[in-house]
Chain A
Amino acid sequence: MRKSLTVFVLAIFVLGVWAFVSVPAASAVGGTIAGVVKFSGTAPTPKKIPPTKDKKVCGKAPIFDESLVVDKGTKGIQWAVVSVQGAQGKWDGKGATLDQKGCMFRPHVLVAPPGKITILNSDKILHNFHSESKKNTPINKAQPGFRKKMTVDIKKAERFKIKCDAHPWMAGWIVVTDHPYVGVTDAKGNFKIENVPPGTYTLEVWQETLGTATQKVTVKAGGTAKVTFTLKK
């Protein structure tokens, strides 16, 4: 009894050490791309959308138009997607999750691997997930209040808009890519893509109202490449 316990503890220890050693070794192979996406021009004032339906739930917190969110100070653009073109790699196997909360899609822009995406409904009222995809068959799936969780299957890489017909102001985007080298900017416009295999790539930024822009970037093993995008209307 005691013997087996010892073996067990020892095994865990060995595994732990192996994991500790191997993880940095793997990340040491790739490099990091970090940067910021900025807006040129005056930052638009956030537009508030008064909910016309289900006010009890949707009116709890203010709803803003998220089609162009720019930080007043840094002029960083939120919800821009930066992706490494032509990179190849495997996703870590975890699926993506989209929530519908306060009658908004959370996050507004979701980056996901091909396959099943979990859709949550934290509002406990009827929503529907309606995708305007072209490569993938469009989906329009109801999620009544009692169904807290459901899944949708997006098989091919594509960038498409999603909406909810029950709440016409609700809008979001899903970006499905074949490789994991993709990032979404935060409220300050910053993004970070890690473990990129070394090489020279075209980096593409996309924002739903401003369109796309590209630039070249060279990634060195272990190094960090700094990138700044400036988008304008």
Chain B
Amino acid sequence: MPRREFVPDEKRSLRMVFFVSSMILLGTTVWALWDESVSRRPWVEYQVEFKQLEYEKVQKGLEQARARLQEPSVQAKLAKLREELRWAEETKKGPDYRAAASEVAQQKTAYRDINQELRFTRSELDEAFYWFDKARHEGGGSSAEEAEVRRLQERERELEPKVDAAKQSLGEAKSRVKKFDSLIREIQDKSKEITRDVVLLERQLEAIRVRPLELVQVVVEGLDRNEFDVPILRVDRCETCHLGIDRPGFEDAPPPFQTHPNRKALLGEHPVDRFGCSVCHDGQGTALDYEDLVEGRIPDAPHGFGREYGGNPQILWDFPLLRGKLAQASCRKCHLERTEFLTAQEKKEGQETKVEWVDLAPTLTKGLAMFESLGCHGCHPAEGFRGLAKVGPELTRVANKVEPAWMIQWIQNPRSYLPHTRMPNFGLSKEHATAIAAYLLDKSESDPPVPGRLNSYASPEKGQEIFERVGCQGCHTMRAVYEEKKPRTFFKLTGRDIAPDLSNVAKKIKDPQWLFRWLKNPKAIRPSTRMPNLRLTDEEASALTAFLMTRGERQATSSALLAELKKKEQIEEGHRLIQLRGCFGCHKIRGFEVAKQIAPDISNFGHKRLLQLSFGDAVEVHHTWEDWTFSKLKNPQIYTTEREQLLMPNFGFSGDEVKTFQVLLKSFTDAHVPERYSEEVTAERLALAKGRRLVRDYNCVGCHIIEGKGGDIRARYEGRLNEAPPPLVLIDGTLSEGGKVQAKWLFEFLHRPHPIRPWLEVRMPTFGLTDAQWGRLTNYFTSLAGLNKVPFEFVPPADELNPRMIEAGRILASNEYFACGSCHVQGIKKPEGPPEGWAPDFALAHRRLRPDWIVTWLRDPQKVQPGTQMPSFFLDEDSGPDEILEGDEQKQILALREYLLSLGKR
């Protein structure tokens, strides 16, 4: 074995090693540079592209501006200005200017001389006064000194006006010179004004050209906290590529350069540099790489990402990017209390600009409305939806109302009887439905007595008239008889009816006596019902009962079925099934008063990770949050396995409705937003949110137009809208009930409605709500009118009104002048002619109307409520009679108000 020869390090050649390692180092450096500047900067491409786009856009604008500049009229103007300028400069060189300039020089010298003299005199005066003072102190004779002081004082008095005069004439001379200069400047300004557009655009163009390519990044402070509750920064670099997102004019640009939809309203309230983007859109704010950002690095996802996942492929991130409508879900992070995100936007229609209300998160609004009105909260606990009322009718007295045979069918398949019902399908077998019916019938109590007697011989024809007139159709449909031409407000929002369609009502009613009692006083039968009391007389209720009992064939229950329903094992089975399916989530059922919601809490469902979702045996469903929810809502049983039975009923959602729910579900998160980023929940906002909920739940919009929406019943009053329920809050007019009527009156009226227009057949029903609920509604109306801070108003008592004004008002209102009594009821004095043409009683005014509103109304009723029958009396300057109150219209309006307020019993 040869011995290895020892060669000391110093003698070994390391050339090769050095060479190889330096090559590696060089290679790495080059690669690092390449990676940094090319492969890790895909955004550079976008920036170049946008630069090009913007450059072209500005250039186009510049060309247009230049073309405008080249127009002969503009050129003529410019030429004229140039001529004027030349002339002005010429004159500046001319003798006039020279004379003026030398005048200034002269005046300057004169002023300086005389001013100097004055100052010297004053110095001398100071000196003389010193000697005078000194002499007086020393006790010597001071008359010589005194004479000197007096002489100098005299001199000063003489000089002062002269100095002033010299100063003034110097000023005048100067201004004469300045005039030449200011003329030149004026002309220059004028021509600059004309060429300004071009100059600005040129500068803009230059700025774009020299702008460096750079990463745009927004750092949001104090919004996020890490797992240890330590504040961390949020960094969004989205604007690096989305360059046009916060700039108008790129609405039609290709992606990713478009302007944000509703930019002004959304980004105006949420400036990007303060909020960033991922606050609403989630996703990877820092990512600059497209795949990183959107696909979460799915190796085979192409640039036109994830179509196979319905546009939402981001399966690898916990909180992937929220695209399209899904971004609306983020609104609820901060705006918890608001149910709508309305903003007024101007819309151009031809020459006129119209203001219209735009919901910035329409899908979310819809989802919230559907969630609440379909009663999802009955089974699913969810933050923000706790303690809401059950949405279904109480079933504690159901046996008195319905035919058992019908009931079983209904429980089995509600939509076969009412296609637009809110009750879902539980997929029950006939046996199970029978058992549930058996339990409900067994536990039913008897109805309390309701005063009144049903007249069984009442005429159905008269009943139909009453049905059409008193206002039933504000909530109820009867599609078999009355076509629904326009979708109703509630239907538009939820795709369901707010009250049952009555086309086939007689099929389910067991006893006309029950229907009569129900119509007379719904709340007595079912204290939690939302059906109001229409204050029907016995005769009216009897006729209405007779009419409704002609709608459909009563379905008698066989005695065998009745016997089956009484069986103990059926009743026990019913109890088990109700417990299992959670019927008590929506209905009040005896024996389940304290039962808990049966379904999982979904307060944080929007942040559910894929691991937490069970896909059961459904192999066809892609493993994404979106696909899971879509399939679940479409078919609630889809993820059932042998081990796990799923209980959620089928609501028969359409594809769009499911997508709406997805937005809502995405909004269910426990994301914590610090206070300074949250919306300030003012009392006013809260009042609006609460009021809107009441308006929706009690379907006020079935009859009235509120916030420009609703008034469904008006479709039945075509051509005679003056007989329909009045609109309350318009968007195109200035009508706002809260600004019109006194809050106290409104509150009392809601409690106990009394007819304001007694001749109208449609009547405001009695809803029987609590003080707190009516208070909320009153507060809502006053808030809508912007009077939330001072909801009340002072109405001067009759003896504090000005008697001279009252008298003037009385004369103005008389038949000699405005003849108000031609239409208005005045206490016991009724107008002539048919009552349809009458107008509200003057005697109501002092208790009902806000004094300020009377003035606004009299000034121009058409502006307040377009289309009202009340004509404008004071539209022209000379509308009022000259002989009353000096013909001053404003005074006459005030006199009429004074007169109105003086009328009626206090």
Contact = CB atoms under 8 A, between A and B. Distances in A.
Nearest to B837: A168
A54 B837 CA distance: 13
A168 B837 CA distance: 8
Nearest to A147: B879
B872 A142 contact: yes
A126 B832 contact: no
Contacts of A55: 832
B726 interface: no
Contact of B837 (A125, A144, A166): A166
B590 to A, nearest CB: 56
Interface string B842-879: 00000000000000000001100011111111011001
B832 A53 contact: yes
A141 B833 contact: no
A140 B869 contact: yes
B252 interface: no
A142 B873 contact: yes
A130 interface: yes
Given A52-B832, A126-B818, A141 B875 contact: yes
A54 B823 CA distance: 11
Interface in A47-101: 52-55
B881 interface: yes
Contacts of B823: 165-166
B867 A144 contact: no
A44 interface: no
Contact of A165 (B818, B866, B869): B869
Nearest to B876: A150
Contacts of A53: 822, 831-833, 837
Interface in A127-177: 128-130, 138-142, 144-147, 150-151, 165-168
Contacts of A144: 817-819, 873
A69 B452 CA distance: 54
Q: How large is the interface on B (under 10, 10 to 19, 20 to 34, 35 or more residues)?
A: 20 to 34
B822 A126 contact: yes
Contacts of A150: 876, 879
Interface residues of A, number: 24
A121 B261 CA distance: 54
B883 to A, nearest CB: 9
Given A52-B834, A54-B832, A140-B861, A166 B866 contact: no
| Best-buried of B815, B817, B819, B822 by chain A (most CB within 10 Å) | B822
Contacts of A139: 862
A126 B819 CA distance: 6
A168 B818 contact: no
A139 B869 CA distance: 11
B816 interface: yes
Nearest to A130: B871
B729 to A, nearest CB: 20
B836 interface: yes
B872 A140 contact: yes
Interface string B301-340: 0000000000000000000000000000000000000000
Nearest to A142: B871
Contacts of B867: 138, 140
Given A126-B818, A126-B822, A141 B871 contact: yes
A145 B818 CA distance: 8
B871 A140 contact: yes
Given A140-B872, A141-B871, A146-B881, A166 B822 contact: yes
Nearest to A132: B867
A138 B866 CA distance: 8
B870 A140 contact: yes
A146 B837 contact: no
Contacts of B869: 130, 140, 165
A43 B868 CA distance: 37
B522 to A, nearest CB: 37
Nearest to A150: B876
B45 to A, nearest CB: 52
Interface string A20-62: 0000000000000000000000000000000011110000000
A72 to B, nearest CB: 31
Contacts of A129: 871
A56 B140 CA distance: 110
Nearest to A129: B871
Contacts of B876: 150-151
Nearest to B868: A140
Nearest to A51: B833
B818 A142 contact: yes
Contacts of A146: 816-817, 881
A143 to B, nearest CB: 8
Given A144-B818, A145-B819, A146-B816, A165 B872 contact: no
A55 B869 CA distance: 21
A168 B871 contact: no
Interface string A211-233: 00000000000000000000000
A125 B871 contact: no
Contacts of A167: 833
Contacts of A151: 876
Nearest to A126: B819
Contacts of B875: 141
Interface in B173-224: none
A160 to B, nearest CB: 13
A128 to B, nearest CB: 4
Given A128-B871, A130-B871, A138-B862, A165 B837 contact: yes
B862 A168 contact: no
B862 A140 contact: yes
Interface string B667-685: 0000000000000000000
A52 B861 contact: no
B881 A165 contact: no
A168 B834 contact: yes
Interface string B866-906: 11111111011001010000000000000000000000000
Interface in B629-654: none
B832 A165 contact: no
Contacts of A145: 815-817, 819
A54 B822 CA distance: 9
| Best-buried of A52, A54, A125, A142 by chain B (most CB within 10 Å) | A142
A177 B89 CA distance: 56
A55 B832 CA distance: 9
Interface of B: 815-819, 822-823, 831-834, 836-837, 861-862, 866-873, 875-876, 879, 881
27 contacts: A52-B833, A53-B831, A53-B837, A54-B822, A125-B815, A125-B819, A125-B822, A126-B819, A138-B862, A138-B867, A140-B862, A140-B867, A140-B868, A141-B871, A142-B871, A142-B873, A144-B818, A144-B819, A145-B816, A145-B819, A146-B881, A147-B879, A151-B876, A165-B823, A165-B837, A166-B823, A168-B834
Given A130-B871, A150-B876, A165-B837, 14 more contacts: A52-B832, A125-B815, A128-B871, A138-B862, A138-B866, A138-B867, A140-B868, A140-B871, A140-B872, A142-B873, A145-B819, A147-B879, A151-B876, A167-B833
The 6 closest A-B pairs by CB, nearest first: A128-B871, A142-B871, A126-B819, A53-B833, A53-B832, A165-B869
